[in-house]
Chains A and B, each alone.
Chain A
């Protein structure tokens, strides 16, 4: 038989009993189940959760990097060129890209975040918001207004750690 079996068996019973007591104990005493009763109480995801992608339209230059890097091909951009006033007085008017269409199809998106990573102009952000399911699958295609509205839910970027390398800039 080797090692005596009974103490281990009793310890096993103790573990399940302990867990049960912990679950039955009221929440205010530090007990309760790990479960969140979702429709009745909302879970607060961590601030860097990948819930939905938000768009800051002014920053977008329609460079198409996100479109080309998307593994699912779920981003659609159309743009036209416009003349903008010069930066300095007397200069020539600048040519800028104006976004006509910026759609993300969340029915296709796999939340890899490559588009957010690859964007050189800080136009795409992760938001922890997760409640945007739709009865019709076509409604999961979010256009640029809707993507712009998600900007309100984007949390402030956490402060850099002490001793972290500062961003090099002009």
Chain B
């Protein structure tokens, strides 16, 4: 990592990575919770949302975090304590591992390796493990039901997600997320490279399938059967309080942000601006101006906000799927659609 053309010692690089990772997880989570969960949802219900803590309630999140930290850490008497306490951390860990592979700029990334997409898809299912652990160890039938539902749903929607990403991978010819970003910004559409070539243009179906699967992976509302608060009392989170609930809460919205980041990398051109604008050479990362290491994260943040706004908008608008509808939708609609998409992409890839 040679950020700002300064060679840092290993310990400083590690420190920078840890700080960067924490910021990349917590900042989107906080922004999403305040802007969308508190304000956008309230506006959509003709309310004002929090108004008292800070100007327009902007400090409300700190108040809530303070409240959660004060609460007693309770566990049911018959809970499997070790698993019970580890579960929220496993879920949060999945978020941190996910953000590790997202490129934020030409040099601003945590890791950059060729199996990036594969790693991303593998790591995103760790949260399923955490949720299942939470549901099983709570010694509560509602939690168990919620955990089982979550496992069933997340497995069902993992598949269309993988398949929709495959379309992008076939078109880019690589699994390296950094290369995917560079390709999107340097390729040309029929010889015209004024806009680069964001894959949403050709992979729009894959984008839709990916966003729907993300919605389900996050157990956001149309797919919130696992946490159905009216029947399962928040499902696998029923027995959690205080700090551990806070971790689940942060993980939920941080994961929403990270998935939006990944979607913007895969479909919207990631951190880049079309290279033809600045005259950069796509084969040589060194030719990219250094300010992109600061501009890139901002561009990513903007794209993330747009995509999370979409996720939250859908969340606040639709009622919940029934369990059988949810499974049928995954297996009978999303998976065939993404398979057809892969086939067509492959045919075009070979033909052109």
Contacts and interface: CB of A to CB of B under 8 A. Distances in A.
A13 interface: yes
Contact of B43 (A15, A23, A37): A23
Interface string B264-293: 000000000000000000000000000000
Nearest to B333: A1
Contacts of B93: none
Interface string A16-43: 1101101110000000011101000000
B14 interface: no
B317 A16 contact: yes
B48 A35 contact: yes
B318 A9 contact: yes
Interface residues of A, number: 15
B43 A24 contact: yes
B59 interface: no
A23 B42 CA distance: 9
Contacts of B317: 12-13, 15-16
Given A12-B318, A20-B40, A20-B43, A33 B313 contact: no
Contacts of B47: 23, 33-35
Nearest to A10: B317
Contacts of A20: 40, 43-44
Nearest to A40: B51
A81 B340 CA distance: 96
B318 A33 contact: no
B46 interface: yes
Given A9-B318, A37-B51, A17 B313 contact: yes
B322 to A, nearest CB: 14
A41 to B, nearest CB: 11
Nearest to B51: A37
Contacts of A9: 318
Main secondary structure of the interface of B (DSSP, over half): helix
A33 B46 contact: yes
Interface in B137-169: none
B316 interface: yes
Nearest to B40: A20
Contacts of B302: none
B48 A37 contact: yes
A13 B44 CA distance: 10
B228 interface: no
A24 B44 CA distance: 9
A23 to B, nearest CB: 4
A20 B312 CA distance: 13
B93 to A, nearest CB: 34
A35 B314 CA distance: 24
Contacts of A23: 42-44, 46-48
B45 interface: yes
A121 to B, nearest CB: 45
A35 B43 CA distance: 10
A148 to B, nearest CB: 37
Interface in B307-322: 313-314, 316-318
Contacts of B318: 9, 12
The residue in B43, B316, B318 that gathers the most chain A C-beta atoms within 10 A of its C-beta is B43
B313 A19 contact: no
B100 to A, nearest CB: 33
Interface string A123-163: 00000000000000000000000000000000000000000
Given A9-B318, A12-B318, A19 B48 contact: no
Contacts of B43: 19-20, 23-24, 33
A19 B316 CA distance: 12
Given A9-B318, A37-B51, A16 B44 contact: yes
Interface in B164-216: none
A17 B314 CA distance: 10
Given A12-B317, A12-B318, A16-B316, A33 B48 contact: yes
Contacts of B45: 19
B46 A16 contact: no
6 contacts: A15-B317, A17-B44, A19-B43, A19-B46, A33-B47, A34-B46
Interface of B: 40, 42-48, 51, 313-314, 316-318
Given A17-B44, A23-B43, A33-B43, 4 more contacts: A16-B313, A19-B44, A20-B43, A23-B44
Report the 4 A-B pairs with minimum CB-CB distance, sorted nearest first: A23-B43, A20-B43, A16-B44, A16-B317
Interface of A: 9, 12-13, 15-17, 19-20, 22-24, 33-35, 37
